[in-house]
């Protein structure tokens, strides 16, 4: 039973020295507990924030602790009335091959709707984040022009497809021609801007000449700034994430167009998906309907190498080397 623990808090980008690979016996469940064999671990940009000793929406991962991670696995041994051996479950099991759980935060995975890794992506936190971020925070309305950054990632690719299914014009911003082609040719985005090879400002002006109604921001920085300069009156900016600054060691220059929020009576609202706990079921149902009716595509990029490959796999997010939901395969199914 191997696991990845936090060795020390990184400055800037995490590297191999950030992590320790440890080995310990498979835990034994007590009364009201069960043990899960982990099959897939979710890699999330938020993990970078959890490494900082800073006040946030969750406490930081402690030095020496097993790295926090969402994962899917099978119940191996159970002394819990609600979880039977062999059941497939998702939860915050950590970067480990086996985890002990008392059922807190654990959800059952229905593989008749979609395979297990999809429950870490389109039907997991990224999908729910896209759904509530767009519908609730972004107040998406039919006919809106929606711009999404990080558009070829786990959250962005689902947000764009939901917006399309709800009758919006959707423009994605992503790094590289392959990702942009995936957005327009396969996911039905109306346009895609390759921020690594073209001006985002000019791309937005061309693709959304009347301006933006909803900007769903996953990246922050210069891309946010370009989008702010193109807001329409009454626009909503969904502040979902800002990955471009997660590894920054120097202070980041502030967006020069924040005052566009004021001039256009627009609002920019931060949110955390955990606030929607009592509405997850609604989100899963809406997402399942889109997935099973073929209106939405769930794409996972499943990396191999098991728990020892956690550190290098996490950095794929910061290199933009993932398309869709990045997942690490841990067990053999
Ligand atoms: P992704 O699957 O989108 O992976 C990260 C992507 O970010 C990369 O593929 C890369 O794509 C892009 N990226 C990396 N560095 C930069 C950079 N410097 N500038 C611009 N883009 C960059 O991750 P998720 O979908 O899981 O997460 C997306 C965002 O949503 C994150 O900011 C995350 O923190 C946030 N989030 C927020 C939640 C909430 O409750 N508020 C919940 C879940 C996620 P590319 O090749 O296009 O650069």
What would the pLDDT profile of 125-152 be if each residue is shown by its tens digit?
Answer: 999 999 999 999 999 999 999 999 999 9
Q: What pLDDT sits at residue 113?
A: 97
Mean residue pLDDT of the chain comes to 96
What would the pLDDT profile of 233-283 be if each residue is shown by its tens digit?
Answer: 999 999 999 999 999 998 888 887 877 888 888 988 989 999 999 999 999
Closest CA to 38 of 86, 10, 73, 82: 73
The percentage of the chain sitting over the pLDDT mark of 90, rounded to a whole number, equals: 91
Residues 230 and 267 in one domain: yes
Q: Residue 292 falls within a domain, yes or no?
A: no
Closest CA to ligand 1's atom 19: 244
CA of 307 to the centre of ligand 1 (A): 22
Show the domain range for 179.
Answer: 125-274
**CA atoms within 13 Å, Cβ hemisphere of 170:** 31
Report how many domains make up the chain. Answer: 2
Q: What is the CATH number of the domain that holds 211?
A: 3.40.50.720
User: For residue 49, which atom of ligand 1 is closest to its CA?
Assistant: 34
Residues 266 and 135 in one domain: yes
Q: What is the CATH number of the domain that holds 308?
A: 3.90.180.10
What would the pLDDT profile of 71-90 be if each residue is shown by its tens digit?
Answer: 999 999 999 999 999 999 99
Q: What is the mean pLDDT of residues 165-174?
A: 98
Q: What pLDDT sits at residue 257?
A: 84
Residues 144 and 267 in one domain: yes
Residue 120 confidence class, pLDDT cut points 50, 70, 90 = very high
Q: Residue 216 falls within a domain, yes or no?
A: yes
CA of 322 to the centre of ligand 1 (A): 10
Closest CA to ligand 1's atom 7: 150
Residue 159 confidence class, pLDDT cut points 50, 70, 90 = very high
Pocket of ligand 1 (CB under 6 A): 44-46, 125-126, 129, 150, 152-156, 174-176, 179, 218-219, 240-244, 271-273, 317-318, 320, 322, 326
Question: What is the ipTM score, two decimals?
Answer: 0.99
The Cα 147–Cα 169 span in angstroms is: 8
Residues 108 and 129 in one domain: no
Q: What pLDDT sits at residue 254?
A: 83
Give strand ranges (E) for the chain.
Answer: 2-6, 19-23, 34-42, 71-78, 88-91, 98-101, 107-108, 145-149, 169-174, 191-194, 212-217, 231-239, 267-270, 300-303, 325-329
Residues 41 and 85 in one domain: yes
What would the pLDDT profile of 194-244 be if each residue is shown by its tens digit?
Answer: 999 999 999 999 999 999 999 999 999 999 999 999 999 999 999 999 999
Q: Residue 213 falls within a domain, yes or no?
A: yes
User: For residue 324, which atom of ligand 1 is closest to its CA?
Assistant: 2
Residues 41 and 68 in one domain: yes
Residue 42 confidence class, pLDDT cut points 50, 70, 90 = very high
Q: Tell me the best of 153, 196, 239 to mutate to test the pocket of ligand 1, counting ligand atoms within 8 Å of each CB and taking the most.
A: 153
Residues 17 and 78 in one domain: yes
Q: What pLDDT sits at residue 183?
A: 98
Residues 163 and 41 in one domain: no
Q: Residue 289 falls within a domain, yes or no?
A: no
Residue 19 confidence class, pLDDT cut points 50, 70, 90 = very high
């Amino acid at each position: 039973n191997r696991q990845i623990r936090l060795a020390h808090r990184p400055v800037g980008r995490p590297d191999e020295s950030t992590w320790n690979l440890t080995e310990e016996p498979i835990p034994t469940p007590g009364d009201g507990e069960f043990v899960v064999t982990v099959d897939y671990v979710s890699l999330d940009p938020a993990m970078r924030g959890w490494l900082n000793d800073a006040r946030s929406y969750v406490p930081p991962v402690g030095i020496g602790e097993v790295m926090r991670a969402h994962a899917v696995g099978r119940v191996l041994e159970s002394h819990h009335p609600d979880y039977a051996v062999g059941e497939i479950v998702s939860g915050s099991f950590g970067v480990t091959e086996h985890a002990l759980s008392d059922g807190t935060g654990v959800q059952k995975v229905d593989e008749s709707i979609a395979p297990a890794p999809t429950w870490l992506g389109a039907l997991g936190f990224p999908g729910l984040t896209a759904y509530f971020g767009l519908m609730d925070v972004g107040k998406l309305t039919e006919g809106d022009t929606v711009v999404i950054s990080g558009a070829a990632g786990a959250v962005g690719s689902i947000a764009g497809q939901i917006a399309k299914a709800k009758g919006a014009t959707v423009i994605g911003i992503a790094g590289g021609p392959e990702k942009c082609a995936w957005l327009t040719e396969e996911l039905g985005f109306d346009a895609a801007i390759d921020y690594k090879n073209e001006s985002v400002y000019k791309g937005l002006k061309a693709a959304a000449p009347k301006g933006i109604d909803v900007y769903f921001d996953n990246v922050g920085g210069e891309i946010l700034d370009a989008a702010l300069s193109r807001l329409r009156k009454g626009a909503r900016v969904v502040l979902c994430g800002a990955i471009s600054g997660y590894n920054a060691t120097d202070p980041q220059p502030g967006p020069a167009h924040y005052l566009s929020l004021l001039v256009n009576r627009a609002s920019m609202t931060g949110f955390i998906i955990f606030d929607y706990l009592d509405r997850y079921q609604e989100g899963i149902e809406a997402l399942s309907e889109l997935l099973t009716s073929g209106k939405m595509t769930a794409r996972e990029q499943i990396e191999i190498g098991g728990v020892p490959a956690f550190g290098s796999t996490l950095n794929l997010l910061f290199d933009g080397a993932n398309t869709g939901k990045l997942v690490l395969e841990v067990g053999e199914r």
